[in-house]
Amino acid sequence: MPEIYLGLMSGTSLDGVDAVLADFEPKIPQPLQQKTYAIPTQLRDDLLRISTNETASYLEVAQLDISFGHLLADIAVDLLARANLQAEQIIAIGSHGHTLAHRPNDNLAFSLQIGNAHVLNKKTGITVVADFRPSDIAVGGQGAPFACAFHDYLFKGENLAIVNIGGISNTTLIRRDKPTLGYDSGPGNCLMDSWIQSQLDLPYDDNGEFASRGQVNPDLLKQLLRDDYFSEAIPKTTGRDKFNLDWLQQQLKHYGTELSPEEIQTTLLQFTIETIAAPLLDLSTNLDEILICGGGSHNQMLMQALADRLNPLPVSSIDARGVGADWVEALAFAWLAKMTLSQQPGNLPSVTGAREATILGGIFR
């Protein structure tokens, strides 16, 4: 009998909301319908502004929460119509929402996602599971990354790494004889996207075309890699509230030498590669394969450069294993909803650093 869940994910890249309907009765979930929905321009601009502004008012945050909740509900209704499914056929929606701030290392640790779950539940008539990250933080964890638990469910017993290159890149390291590890390696697409948007008013560097015009500047690369985040031990997580255009401008200011926009773009691409590859090679060099997912998997220049850096380890898209590279994160939150409703833990303490495995999120009916 089908076990249909709907997963909604809005990541740090702000390139859209990924929505997927999938049947979780088989071990590998079977997508029934999926689509990436654009975030309206004004809402996207507001999200970007608030996520890099620590002085935003409670009123702005509250209004964004409601606005994004309505967007998520409209997306869910549209996806159901496209799949010719009724609300009664869906067990639950797993909604990540959109992260405005992620501060798990503060004295009063928190992670703030918006996308009002009450609005989503009432407009769709479907049970909603949301607000996942604070549950893990409450037991001493980083509140991320959570997709690692889903990766572990899919590929447990194998010897591989899964690298999700979204706005922020995160890595899952699954090994036959050791606990699964996971961490945010650093910026994925977010700095490349922000830079090309500031220079050419383009949302992203299609296939690395802009980066292909420049050369890596070794001194700037060293400057970027000096950030304290890259010397921190795992488990660790980060977000756009740290790695953003303001951070990059500060790095360029410290560097001091005038560089061409293309040279900066190329160096940012190499920065992403280095922050993915270096810890992965430090932790394990005997992997059978490295699977890539997320929006970065479509950037051919990035994929080729990453494969060259990790050679001889084989690098390929997770598509080859029957899981759509664009839908892994949305599937993960649909799976987390399933785990929560089944009263099963959804975090991996070896990944998040939590004191214990715990059931994640709240249930909205």
pLDDT over threshold 70, residue 91: yes
Copy the structure tokens of residue 332.
């993960």
Q: What is the pLDDT of residue 356?
A: 97
Domain 4-143+325-364 falls under CATH 3.40.50.1000:
no
Q: What is the pLDDT of residue 285?
A: 67
Q: What is the pLDDT of residue 77?
A: 98
Q: Please name the residues in contact with 235: beta carbons below 8 A apart, sequence gap of 6 or more.
A: 141, 142, 181, 182, 183, 351, 352, 353
Q: What integer is the mean pLDDT of 69-86?
A: 98
- Model confidence band, residue 52 (pLDDT cutoffs 50, 70, 90): confident
Q: What integer is the mean pLDDT of 56-68?
A: 94
Q: What integer is the mean pLDDT of 195-199?
A: 96
What percent of the chain has pLDDT above 70? 100
Q: What integer is the mean pLDDT of 71-92?
A: 98
Q: What is the pLDDT of residue 173?
A: 95
Render pLDDT for 3-24 as a digit per residue (tens, 0 to 9): 999 999 998 778 899 999 999 9
Contact 161, 141 (CB under 8 A): no
Q: What integer is the mean pLDDT of 56-81?
A: 96
Q: What integer is the mean pLDDT of 209-232?
A: 96
Q: What integer is the mean pLDDT of 186-209?
A: 95
pLDDT over threshold 90, residue 53: no
Q: What is the pLDDT of residue 293?
A: 95
Q: What is the pLDDT of residue 174?
A: 95
Copy the structure tokens of residue 275.
């922050």
Identical fold between 4-143+325-364 and 147-321 = yes
Q: Which of 71-75, 185-189, 258-262, 285-289 has the lowest mean pLDDT?
A: 285-289
pLDDT over threshold 90, residue 317: yes
pLDDT over threshold 90, residue 78: yes
Cis bond leading into 312, ω under 30°? yes
CATH for 147-321 is 3.30.420.40
Closest alpha carbon to 260 in 300, 220, 302, 222: 220
Please report, for the chain, the start and end positions of each structural domain, with discontinuous segments joined by +: 4-143+325-364, 147-321
Render pLDDT for 96-118 as a digit per residue (tens, 0 to 9): 999 998 999 999 999 999 999 99
Count CB-CB contacts under 10 A for residue 115.
27
Q: What integer is the mean pLDDT of 82-86?
A: 98
- Residue 84 to residue 33: CA distance in whole angstroms: 10
Across the strands, what pairs with 290? 161, 315
Copy the structure tokens of residue 351.
């990944």
Give the Å distances, CA to CA, from 123 to 36, 86, 243: 20, 13, 35
Tell me which residue has tokens 């959570």: 146
Render pLDDT for 128-149 as a digit per residue (tens, 0 to 9): 999 999 999 999 999 999 999 9
Counting beta carbons within 10 angstroms of the beta carbon of residue 311, is it exposed (0 to 12), middle (13 to 18) or buried (19 or more)? exposed
Q: What is the pLDDT of residue 55?
A: 80
